[in-house]
Amino acid sequence: GAGVSQSPRYKVAKRGQDVALRCDPISGHVSLFWYQQALGQGPEFLTYFQNEAQLDKSGLPSDRFFAERPEGSVSTLKIQRTQQEDSAVYLCASSLVGRSSGNTIYFGEGSWLTVV
Amino acid sequence: AQSVTQLDSQVPVFEEAPVELRCNYSSSVSVYLFWYVQYPNQGLQLLLKYLSGSTLVKGINGFEAEFNKSQTSFHLRKPSVHISDTAEYFCAVSVYSSASKIIFGSGTRLSIRP
């Protein structure tokens, strides 16, 4: 497709379960971002990749959160031992070029995670 | 560190009335400024951005925003709103030297009354 694609769109996980969220960025986009958006809040930065390199992971809330982009295209955000406070929409975004913060970033529709 | 404040969590307006959504930012260094819109159950879409040059920026769907450095503001305006403008609007900043982070405000929900 032409846009950023995320799957699954909706995920219900039992507390303690591991989840994996997938992001397919726009083809050829160098930069990839993950954001977490809690209900009624703005998106919060989690991590950033330039190609396969994870250049910034300062926003990951704990060591239960792990992201990878092994071939510089598709990315996976993994959350281990999910907790209720992990319930949020996880947004993936991509942009065409690397180190230029004025570039337009394109967002996917998000993966809605509910931990019960 | 940078931060973004959107003072109004909700703004109700009548259809065809003008609207202004307020945004203030805090930063010790120069920033780029953005407005994003989020329609229900959809991802964020860029409305407009300020990088440099003219302080009045025009975006999609008839929206515009004005960068005011002295007041550290970047308010979003539209002279006449439509029902289809009902959405959540997010102001955001990124730092010149940082390739990674866009920092978002908490959002303003714009609801249009017929």
For the segment B26-49, the average pLDDT, to the nearest whole number, is 89
For the segment A87-91, the average pLDDT, to the nearest whole number, is 97
**B100 to chain A nearest CA, in Å?**
6
Q: Does B32 touch chain A (CB under 8 A)?
A: yes
Please state, rounded to an integer, the average pLDDT across all residues of chain A.
92
pLDDT tens digits for range A50-81: 999 999 999 999 999 999 999 999 999 999 99
Q: Which two tokens stand for residue B41?
A: 């159950």
For B100, which of A44, A56, A102 is closest by C-beta distance? A56
Looking at residue B40, its pLDDT comes to 85
Looking at residue B8, its pLDDT comes to 94
Which residues sit opposite B4 in a β-bridge?
A: B25
What residue of B is the nearest CA neighbor of A5? B43
Looking at residue A101, its pLDDT comes to 58
Q: Which two tokens stand for residue B102?
A: 């866009």
The yes-or-no verdict on residue A1 having pLDDT over 60 is no
Which residues sit opposite B48 in a β-bridge?
A: B35
Size of interface A-B (CB pairs under 8 A): 67
Question: Measured between alpha carbons, how far is B37 from B67 in angstroms, rounded to an integer?
Answer: 18
Chain A residue numbers with beta carbons less than 8 Å from the beta carbon of B45 are 107
Query: Predicted confidence band at B27 (pLDDT cuts at 50, 70, 90)?
Result: confident
Give yes or no for a contact between A9 and A101, defined as CB atoms under 8 angstroms apart: no
Chain A residue numbers with beta carbons less than 8 Å from the beta carbon of B94 are 101-102
Amino acid at A3: G
Chain B residue numbers with beta carbons less than 8 Å from the beta carbon of A109 are 41-43
pLDDT tens digits for range B39-86: 987 889 999 999 888 899 999 999 999 999 999 999 999 999 999 999
What residue of B is the nearest CA neighbor of A41? B106
Question: Measured between alpha carbons, how far is B52 from A65 in angstroms, rounded to an integer?
Answer: 36
Query: Predicted confidence band at A82 (pLDDT cuts at 50, 70, 90)?
Result: very high
**Among B53, B61, B12, B9, which Cα is nearest to B33's?**
B53
pLDDT tens digits for range A27-44: 999 999 999 999 888 999
Q: Does B109 touch chain A (CB under 8 A)?
A: no
Chain A residue numbers with beta carbons less than 8 Å from the beta carbon of B1 are none
Please state, rounded to an integer, the average pLDDT across all residues of chain B.
91
Looking at residue B26, its pLDDT comes to 92
Which residues sit opposite A61 in a β-bridge?
A: none
The yes-or-no verdict on residue A98 having pLDDT over 60 is yes
Amino acid at A113: L
Looking at residue B111, its pLDDT comes to 95
3-class SS letters over chain B = CCEEECCCCEEEEECCCCEEECCEEECCCCEEEEEEEECCCCCEEEEEEECCCCCEEECHHHCEEEEECCCCEEEEEECCCCHHHCEEEEEEEEECCCCCCCEECCCEEEEEEC
Our CA angle for B54, A107, A83, nearest 5°, is 130
Strands B10-14 and B108-113: parallel
